[in-house]
Amino acid sequence: MRMRAAVLASLLASGLISGGLAAGPRQMPDGLARNLLLQLGLPDTDDAVQWLLAAAGHEPGAMDGPAQTVRAWPIDRLRSALASVSKLKKSAAYNATLARGAMLHADLSLLTRGDGVPKASGDPGYRSPLFIDGRRIGESGLDMQLEFARNVIDHMKPRAGDPRALQWYRAIAADLASRYWLLDLERHNQDARRLFPHEGGVLFDNACEAETMTSPRLQAAVAATLEIHASGSPRGLATQPQFTARFNLLRAEQLYRNALTAEPSMSEARLRLAHVLWRLDRVKDAARMLETATDSPDPVVRYYSAMIRGRVLQNSGQPEAARLSFEQARTLYPRAQSAELALAVLARDQGNEPSVIAAMGRVAAWTRTDDTDDPWWRYYQCNGRNALQELERLRFLFRTGDPQ
Amino acid sequence: MKTAWYFCMLLAVSVSAQQPPKFSSKVETVRVDTLATADGKPVAGLSPEDFEVRDNGVVQKITLLASDNAPVVVQIALDTSASLTGERREALRRACRTLVARLRPGDRAGITTFSHVVHPQQPVAAELLRVDDALTPQLEPGHTALYDAVFASMALADGAPGRALLMIFSDGVDTASWLESKAVLQAARGSETVAYAITTEKRTAGFLHDLSDVTGGQQFAVRGDSLDATFTRVLDEFRQRYLLSYEPQGVARGGWHQIEVRSKRRGVRVRARPGYFDPRQ
């Protein structure tokens, strides 16, 4: 047993499996690893050793040999390996190696899209599609690979101070949001907030998740479950108040405020908070919030800002200012259906039928439509719209140690 | 929509080079599309004297603008999101073809499909040609912007001259609209278009129920094999409605006006929109 611990410590100390940030990518060639293990007298069939080698050898973003090695391991085996590794927390490369392990298991989730998740008795690793009126709106269940990855980060010492852990949490949150993997997202964000309670980005992700719960598609799912419940069928999520729109709007309000306290310049948090306030029928509060909003370099955020501002102005009895705001949105995204409809409703309210007809004519002229035409369609994905960039930044950080 | 544009009959459109055209707020005619039934079946041959219309409780002098043989404008709005697949889609295609075959000379029709994207496939025209195109197998892999689609469809129907019927086929669940249901219902209250909702399950509440109610239309729940019959029934029923009109007398202008329509004939029940919104101050 003592020999085994010594081998693991040697592996960590060797730098060969650290994947250290400063040193750039470190991958241990298979032959070298085996030679080292033979010299140290430990067979490479030891789970802890295999896991360390896989973590060190994994190329972020690739379904490579190291990833394949541990892909099918059941959770009990992974936990056992991690328990062995965690005894070596005083080793210099400990955190770096665990961070690479978290990346490895995140990639197993990301690259397999939740397929082929190993299961063990009593294990929360299951996943099933979530449907509403025939459409798949996301996933229900927890991804065991991500659960384990979070577990790995939990073993880092000190975990909250590690920049890799923060970027890991934010990138994975973006990915989960983009896919509507909601149970995973909730668990993930709770963990992130526990580790980084004052980090603006993490608070923003948590607020977004609460706002997503208020989205029409999620609330449609809740309503459908209510109908099932009313008919005497199984009790479901609708029986729990934390799934109601109002509960989550209030939660989102508080979290966006916390995010802005941590990072006052976060323009998207400000406009989303204004939208939440508007939805809570606090139009004046929403207008005040928008007065302090700053410009964002991101055109999507500027579009959201123009649309939400227009909506608030319209409800504040300022139709002309609202029109200008909606037109600004249309200028940013000339094929945005929502901006055209917003303008058409305004025109109708003003008795301007020709403008309504003109707006409908423009919509009718769009023979082909792309999902990027109207950013509103992805509003409730929040930072999920940036998932690919966030993941690439994460992988780059793990490859090079450079946070870009 | 035709809103108080309805109020439109005098249509004093004032247009200047700089300003967008605005309809006059002088108003002055309200039109009420009314269905009269006995034992659940439409009743034909009624005259204005057979109806009583009250505007905010005040009896109005009515005229009959049109009944059975008047041309109609049919705007079809079809939810083609991912929940519409296989046999259901084919049944819908057949139902649309049947409907088109029953259009008469002088009738006009348009078709809009929607998922999260609203696609006005064909504007209102004398011939509805694009049913098959609209229901090609390449359905939108998206969500449902029902409120957006209803607003757009009503605007398109309102933009065409004539009595307008909006037929919406959807499962009735909005998951993606920019517009809110209350804004669209508000628009519907100001429209003369009558909305008939055809859904896959009967709902006693919800947006399509409310939409049918505020426009004086109806809601039908159907299975795939009865779509043909339902589409035909809706069109036939709409043709047998009476288009009543009056110039409001003895009521204050502006705001919400409650309309009550009743038949003076024993055993005849009527269905009409419950009111209209007068945007004038």
Per residue in A56-93, pLDDT (tens digit) is: 888 888 999 989 989 888 888 999 888 888 887 777 67
Distance in angstroms between the alpha carbons of the first and the last residue of chain B: 18
- What are the strands, taking DSSP E only, across B141-265? 163-169, 194-199, 219-221, 242-246, 255-263
Residue A27 has pLDDT above 80, yes or no: no
What is the ipTM for the molecules in this complex? 0.83
The shortest CB-CB distance from B120 to any of A133, A223, A364 is to A364
- In the predicted model, what is the mean pLDDT of residues A160-167? 80
User: Cβ separation of A356 and B155 shorter than 8 Å?
Assistant: yes
Please choose, from the candidates B158, B167, B157, the residue with its C-alpha nearest in 3D space to the C-alpha of residue B238.
B167
pTM of the model: 0.82
Q: Residue B182 CA to chain centroid, in angstroms?
A: 17
Residue A173 has pLDDT above 70, yes or no: yes
- In the predicted model, what is the mean pLDDT of residues A386-395? 92
- Number of inter-chain CB pairs under 8 A, A vs B: 117
Mean pLDDT over each residue of chain A, to the nearest integer: 81
Which residue, chain included where needed, has tokens 């499962």? B171
B233 C-beta neighbours (distance < 10 Å), count: 16
Residue B43 has pLDDT above 50, yes or no: yes
Distance from CA of B267 to the nearest CA of A (A): 36
| A151 three-state secondary structure | helix
Please choose, from the candidates A92, A81, A86, A76, the residue with its C-alpha nearest in 3D space to the C-alpha of residue A19.
A92
CA distances from A348 to A69, A255, A338, B158 (A): 63, 37, 15, 11
Q: Tokens representing B55?
A: 């505007």
Residue B64 has pLDDT above 90, yes or no: no
β-pair partners for B11? none
Kind and range of the H or E run holding A371: none
- Indicate which of B122, B143, B154, B277 best probes the interface with A, i.e. most A CBs within 10 Å of its own CB: B143
Distance CA B148, CA A363 (A): 12
- What share of chain A in percent tops pLDDT 90? 41
Distance from CA of B43 to the nearest CA of A (A): 34
| B122 three-state secondary structure | strand
> Given this model, what pLDDT does residue B24 score?
31
Of A95-104, A199-208, A361-370, minimum mean pLDDT range: A361-370
Tens digit of each residue's pLDDT (9 = 90 or more) over A262-273: 999 999 999 999
| B56 three-state secondary structure | coil
Q: A256 with A268: CB under 8 angstroms?
A: no
Q: A179 with A212: CB under 8 angstroms?
A: no
A303 C-beta neighbours (distance < 10 Å), count: 24
β-pair partners for B277? B256
For residue A216, which residues of chain B lie inside 8 Å, CB to CB?
174-177
Tens digit of each residue's pLDDT (9 = 90 or more) over B147-173: 999 999 999 888 777 889 999 998 778
Distance CA A118, CA A69 (A): 13
Pairwise pLDDT comparison (A116 vs A64), residue with the higher score: A64
| B91 three-state secondary structure | helix
> Given this model, what pLDDT does residue A269 score?
96
Which residue type occupies A108? L
Q: A283 with A317: CB under 8 angstroms?
A: no
Q: Tokens representing A338?
A: 């929502």
Please choose, from the candidates B48, B8, B51, B57, the residue with its C-alpha nearest in 3D space to the C-alpha of residue B30.
B8
Which residue, chain included where needed, has tokens 């929509």? B1
**Residue length of chain B:** 281
Of A104-118, A130-144, A348-362, A380-394, minimum mean pLDDT range: A130-144
Pairwise pLDDT comparison (B141 vs B255), residue with the higher score: B255
A228–chain B Cβ distance below 8 A for any pair: no
Tens digit of each residue's pLDDT (9 = 90 or more) over A241-292: 777 889 999 999 999 999 999 999 999 999 999 999 999 999 999 999 998 8
Mean pLDDT over each residue of chain B, to the nearest integer: 81
Q: B165 with B72: CB under 8 angstroms?
A: yes
A134–chain B Cβ distance below 8 A for any pair: yes
Pairwise pLDDT comparison (A199 vs A133), residue with the higher score: A199
Q: Tokens representing B269?
A: 């029940």
- In the predicted model, what is the mean pLDDT of residues A298-306? 95
Choose which CATH entry (3.30.830.10, 3.40.50.300, 3.40.50.410, 3.90.25.10) describes domain B72-239. 3.40.50.410
- Within 13 Å and on the Cβ side, how many CA atoms surround A341? 26
Determine what percent of chain A falls in helix, strand and coil, rounding each to the nearest 5.
Answer: 70, 5, 30
The domain spans of chain B are 13-68+242-278, 72-239
Sequence-ordered list of residues with C-beta below 8 angstroms from that of A35, at least 6 positions apart, any chain: none
Which residue type occupies A56? A
> Given this model, what pLDDT does residue B20 score?
32
- Within 13 Å and on the Cβ side, how many CA atoms surround A128? 2
**Residue length of chain A:** 404
Contacts of range A251-255, beta carbons closer than 8 Å, 24 or more positions apart = A251/A207, A251/A210, A252/A207, A252/A208, A252/A210, A252/A211, A252/A214, A252/A276, A253/A277, A253/A280, A255/A203, A255/A204, A255/A206, A255/A207, A255/A210
User: Cβ separation of B187 and A224 shorter than 8 Å?
Assistant: no
* Residue A24 banded pLDDT, cuts 50, 70, 90: very low
Q: B192 with B155: CB under 8 angstroms?
A: no
- What share of chain B in percent tops pLDDT 70? 80
* Residue B7 banded pLDDT, cuts 50, 70, 90: very low
CA dihedral A44, A48, A49, A51 (to 10 degrees): 110
Tens digit of each residue's pLDDT (9 = 90 or more) over B194-241: 999 998 776 667 899 999 999 999 999 886 668 889 999 999 999 999
Of A318-322, A339-343, B12-16, B114-118, minimum mean pLDDT range: B12-16
* Ordered domains of chain A (ranges, CATH): 2-159 (no CATH), 212-386 (1.25.40.10)
Residue of chain B with shortest Cα separation from A378? B176
> Given this model, what pLDDT does residue A144 score?
83
Residue A391 has pLDDT above 90, yes or no: yes
Q: What DSSP string describes A287-354?
A: HHHHHT----S-HHHHHHHHHHHHHHHHHTT-HHHHHHHHHHHHHHSTT-HHHHHHHHHHHHHTT-HH
For residue B178, which residues of chain A lie inside 8 Å, CB to CB?
307, 337-338, 341-342, 376
Tell me the Cα Rg of chain A.
Answer: 25
Contacts of range A10-13, beta carbons closer than 8 Å, 24 or more positions apart = A10/A36, A10/A40, A11/A36, A11/A49, A11/A52, A11/A53, A12/A52, A12/A88, A12/A91, A12/A92, A12/A93, A12/A94, A12/A97, A13/A91, A13/A92, A13/A93
Pairwise pLDDT comparison (B4 vs B197), residue with the higher score: B197
> Given this model, what pLDDT does residue A31 score?
53
- Indicate which of B24, B117, B133, B185 best probes the interface with A, i.e. most A CBs within 10 Å of its own CB: B117
Tens digit of each residue's pLDDT (9 = 90 or more) over B181-192: 999 998 998 888
Distance CA B244, CA B262 (A): 12
